[in-house]
Amino acid sequence: MSLIVDSTGKPFADMPAGGRARADSGSGTPLTIPGSVTQPYGSAFPYEASRVDTPEMGNWYPWIRSPDSEINYWRDRMVARSRDLARNDGWSSGGVTRILDNTVGAQLRLSASPDWRVLRRFAKGFDSTWADDFRQAVEALWRLYSEDLGRYNDVSRQLTVSQQLRLALRHKLVDGEALLVSYWKPERVGRGGAQYATSFLVVDPDRLSNPYQMVDTKYLRGGVEIDDDGVPLAYHIRKVHQNDTYNAPESMVWERVEREDEDGWRRVIHDFERDRAGQNRGIGVFTPVLAHAKMLARYYGVELQAATVATIFGTYVTSPYDPAMIEAAMDSDGGEQEMGYYQELRADWAKERPAMLNGVRVPTLAPGEEIKQVAAAHPHSGFGEFAHEMLRSIAAALGVSAEQITQDWSKTNYSSARAALLESWKTLSRRNAEFKVGAATPLFATWLQEAMERGDFDDVLPTGAPDFIEAATAYSRCDWLGVARGWVDPVKEKQGAVLGMDAGLSTLKRECAEQGLDWEEVLAQRAIELKAFERLGMKPPSWSGVENATEASTPEEEPQAQ
């Protein structure tokens, strides 16, 4: 052990508990570190991040905690603040809307893609032709279920599946997690009722908590019951929200819902973004920038108040009578009559001689009076730039561009707009993909299990096909068509898409998927249109690929109106 001193030869003080070093105040014991050598001041720290002798680092001592202890104890406070921001701050609300509109949009369309190569190990009848037949059958029944006019897919019978998924993603963004619980409702199945007994309910994540608000234990973390391997086994969900005062008794009743039934039927879908290993609850996208967003919202309010005050009190009327003249008039004989005469003159001028302009009265002043105005100092000239910089910080946390939040593209050209949108599209695509894997596909698989087990696809399944539970992943493999990416310059980007397909660097399926289209529907529609051109005797368009396009029909064959 050796003495560590600074460049002046002055020793450091004792190292406090926890291994934190501090500079000597003048009378402390020199700091010693095992295995160290006497070196100039500051060189004892191998990384700048480990220094404790600078103003930036001297009072910065965050704790090292497990992810659950960091999140679960403080979750309610963080979520309440995030919700308040999303409710009352226009920028934050707009940021959430932009993400939702660019990931889920108005509808998520199923694009089933069963893995027939895996299923072929079970039976010989599985091939690409079977996969296409199965896909069409599944998608047809899924549309019937997910868009049911009776909304039997929803336990509360209010939302379509796409609306449920959009709501779940909103919870994931603001609250940090999406929670859906599946229910078996056979009593609803029947004539004029539900087609399937499976229905789902989007549950507010607040209801997921430890019974009676007990602290976390080894096997219970924020309402999630886990085993020794960290596998979620069950979820403890309140009957109603904790602050439902009109239903207080049930707010203190928890239901233990197993993750899966004994037959493998999924009961709970819990989707959140994991930042650390061993994490069992999520945090919202606003959490890293809550303080910035709140300060910006407050700054807007202060600027608006200042501008309003300056406007209200910035205008006044001056009179030819200064204080000295008024005092002299009041002291002199007849002063009161003189002031009274002047006040009557002012009233008469405004009442009996109003100036009119096209039927509108113009404010008038008595002779000698004039209106003056105090120059308002708010909003100051740097307000816009400062607010934009703050919004860039919030936009970076949300994974979108500042222009997407503000919807102000006045300072953006094609190149910068495309670069910003491409970068944000990567994050939005990742959010979209994670939500599909974490929520949308498990929801679809839960319904598909019922549909297959009751024999809805027996006519397209080959002999020897495995039960759903034996090959659930292969049967449930799918993609989801959502929001179109759009174009900044439609001509250039569509030309680029065509070049990519011609060069073999892209496919029609990929190009259509990026625009929220089903490539098979596009081809089918083109075939219908080509037949219509032919039927009406019209020249096919250039994209038809027809070399000898027919001219108009002959006179004796008049085209019939359709």
DSSP letters along 526-558, please?
A: HHHHHHHHHHTTPPPPGGG--SS---SPPTTSP
88-112 average pLDDT score: 88
| Token pair in block for residue 305 | 């108040």
Is 483's pLDDT higher than 80? no
327-338 average pLDDT score: 58
* b/e code 68-78 from CB counts within 10 Å (16+ = b): bebbbeebeeb
Name residue 43's beta-bridge partners: none
The Cα–Cα gap between 562 and 550 comes to: 20
**What pTM does this model have?**
0.72
Side chain identity at 467, as an amino acid letter?
D
Task: Point out the least confidently predicted range of 188-202, 329-343, 402-416, 438-452.
Answer: 329-343
422-443 average pLDDT score: 90
What is the structure's pLDDT at 329? 57
Task: Point out the least confidently predicted range of 95-104, 167-176, 317-326, 533-542.
Answer: 317-326
215-243 average pLDDT score: 95
**Structure confidence by residue, pLDDT tens digits, 499-526:** 888 888 888 888 887 777 778 778 877 8
467-486 average pLDDT score: 88
The Cα–Cα gap between 111 and 303 comes to: 50
- Cα-Cα-Cα-Cα dihedral sign, residues 515, 517, 518, 521: negative
Q: How many helices (H) and strands (E) does the chain have?
A: 18, 15
The closest alpha carbon to 21, from 53, 47, 60, 48, belongs to 53
What is the residue extent of each domain of the chain? Answer: 1-62, 315-373, 490-562
Do you find a cis peptide bond into 34, omega within 30 degrees of 0?
no
The Cα–Cα gap between 433 and 271 comes to: 12
C-beta of residue 439 within 8 angstroms of C-beta of residue 178: yes
**Structure confidence by residue, pLDDT tens digits, 131-184:** 989 999 999 999 999 999 999 999 999 999 999 999 999 999 999 999 999 999
Please provide residue 399's backbone torsions phi and psi, each rounded to the nearest 5 degrees: 85, 20
Please report how the helices 161-174 and 128-146 are oriented relative to each other, as an axis angle in degrees rounded to 10. Answer: 80
**Structure confidence by residue, pLDDT tens digits, 3-29:** 444 444 444 444 444 444 444 434 444
DSSP letters along 409-471, please?
A: -TT--HHHHHHHHHHHHHHHHHHHHHHIIIIIHHHHHHHHHHHHHTTTTTTTSPTTPPPGGGS
Q: Which long-range contacts (CB under 8 A, 24 or more apart) does 417-422 make?
A: 417/488, 418/488, 418/489, 421/488
The Cα–Cα gap between 126 and 116 comes to: 5
467-480 average pLDDT score: 94
The Cα–Cα gap between 55 and 49 comes to: 12
Average pLDDT, the chain: 80
